[in-house]
């Protein structure tokens, strides 16, 4: 299980992904699920993944080698797309092809489905953000709901719905995203630190922040502690029911 968030606000783009791939008393491993392509000032394509690791790895490799564009009949790669929309559609074709190629291996309890979040900017176009499904179809993030989630999304969704909007300042949006991760990790041990984080200004072809938040990160530890404390205090201060 994993958890990834993509936030598209007026000031720019934020993608966050945990790195835990297996959870158990003696079976925990990590794997990068947030990848950047280009990131050279002209081309930034950020891809976060959830679901089957074999499917997402295969899909990413398919795009690295080239995915056929049915309209132009040409192979397209992460380095040749002219828009983020084209990149998201190609990722969808690659994801579906990889999933379908594994159907002969299907067994009870084994799921080859995967989802992607694809966002960024190419050649100064407005930053865009897309959710890519295993079937290959995509949906775009819009200003009225300026975020997308994949993976274990239900625990971190309430804070995003209540606190995030398109005009939220970048640093506040980043804080809200980390609180969303904290809520998810408290509810599900299959999601955990480290967290990979990318922040890019609006329409930028290069990430301003590209870091990994480790388990020893002072800010995240303090944020988690204060959020827990303030929630408990707020709950205590709410009026009691009259019945």
- For residue 176, give both structure tokens: 């809200």
pLDDT at 24 over 60: no
Tell me the β-bridge partners of 147: 7
Alpha carbon distance 230, 89 (integer Å): 43
DSSP 241: P
pLDDT at 25 over 60: no
Which positions ≥6 away from 204 have C-beta within 8 Å? 12, 44, 121, 127
Average pLDDT, the chain: 93
Which positions ≥6 away from 33 have C-beta within 8 Å? 2, 4, 17, 18, 19, 48, 49, 50, 56, 196
pLDDT at 115 over 80: yes
pLDDT at 109 over 80: no
Tell me the β-bridge partners of 117: 48, 131
221, 227, 232, 233 alpha-carbon torsion, rounded to 10°: 120
Q: If you average pLDDT over residues 227-242, what whole number do you get?
A: 96
For residue range 78-100, what is the model confidence (pLDDT) as tens digits? 999 999 999 999 999 999 999 98
What does the pLDDT read at residue 231? 95
What does the pLDDT read at residue 178? 98
Residue 75, helix vs strand vs coil: strand
**Fold of the 3-237 domain:** 3.60.20
Q: Which of 5, 41, 2 has the alpha carbon at shortest distance from 141?
A: 5
Domains of the chain, by residue range, sit at: 3-237
For residue range 154-181, what is the model confidence (pLDDT) as tens digits? 999 999 999 999 999 999 999 999 999 9
What does the pLDDT read at residue 20? 82
Q: If you average pLDDT over residues 87-116, what whole number do you get?
A: 86
> How many residues are listed for the chain in this entry?
243
């Amino acid at each position: 299980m994993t958890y990834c968030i993509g936030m598209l606000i007026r000031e720019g783009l934020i993608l966050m992904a945990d790195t835990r791939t297996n959870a158990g008393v003696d079976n925990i491993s990590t794997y990068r699920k947030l990848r950047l392509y280009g990131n050279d000032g002209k081309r930034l394509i950020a891809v976060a993944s959830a679901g089957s690791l074999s499917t997402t790895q295969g899909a990413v490799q398919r795009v690295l080698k080239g995915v056929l564009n049915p309209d132009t009949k040409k192979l397209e790669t992460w380095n040749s797309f002219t828009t983020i929309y084209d990149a998201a559609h190609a990722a969808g074709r690659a994801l579906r092809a990889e999933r379908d190629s594994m159907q002969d291996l299907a067994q009870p309890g084994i799921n080859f489905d995967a989802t992607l979040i694809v966002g960024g900017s190419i050649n100064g176009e407005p930053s865009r953000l897309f959710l890519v499904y295993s079937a290959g179809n995509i949906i775009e993030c819009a200003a009225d709901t300026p975020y997308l989630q994949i993976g274990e999304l239900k625990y971190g969704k309430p804070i995003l719905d209540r606190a995030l909007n398109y005009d939220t300042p970048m640093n506040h949006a980043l804080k809200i995203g980390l609180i969303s991760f904290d809520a998810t990790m408290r509810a599900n041990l299959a999601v955990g630190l480290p967290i990979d984080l990318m922040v890019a200004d609006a329409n930028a072809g290069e990430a301003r922040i590209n870091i990994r938040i480790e388990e020893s990160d002072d800010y995240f530890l303090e944020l988690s502690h204060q959020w827990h404390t303030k929630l408990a205090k707020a709950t205590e201060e709410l009026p009691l029911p009259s019945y």
